[in-house]
Each structure stands twice: as C-alpha cells, then as structure tokens.
Amino acid sequence: MDAADRRSELDHASFVTAGSTFAAYALVILGMALALFAVPYLIFLAF
C-alpha cells in the first residue's frame, strides 16, 4: 500500500464528513472563546 492508496482511503465520505465536523466545531469554540473572553476584555480596556 503506497501513499496514493492511503489518500484514496481518507477521501471516503465518512472521513471527509468527520473532518468537516471537527473543523466546524473548532470554529464554533474559537468564536465562543472570542465572544466570551476577548470582547469583554476589550470593553474593560475601553473604560
């Protein structure tokens, strides 16, 4: 089994879906962290 075979295995729809779900959750967590910590801190600095 070479790299091309391994790549074709990882192109399976379930792996693509899992990767997309992980990326979406990471973006949501990053956005919530910014909303809950960075925004109040910037408001605190402004006043």
pLDDT band at 2 (very low <50, low <70, confident <90, very high): low
pLDDT at 11: 78
Residue 36 lies in a domain: yes
- 10 token code pair: 């990882």
* Average pLDDT of the segment spanning 16-41: 95
Residue 39 lies in a domain: yes
This prediction's pTM: 0.65
Q: Which residues span the domain enclosing 35?
A: 22-47
pLDDT at 1: 54
Residue 16 lies in a domain: no
Give the HSE-up count for residue 14: Cα atoms under 13 Å, Cβ half-sphere. 1
Residue 42 lies in a domain: yes
- Number of folded domains in the chain? 1
Write out pLDDT tens, residues 6-17.
Answer: 666 777 888 889
The amino acid that residue 11 corresponds to is: D
Residue 32 lies in a domain: yes
Question: Across all residues in the chain, what is the average pLDDT?
Answer: 87
Distance CA 41, CA 34 (A): 10
Residue 17 lies in a domain: no
Residue 14 lies in a domain: no
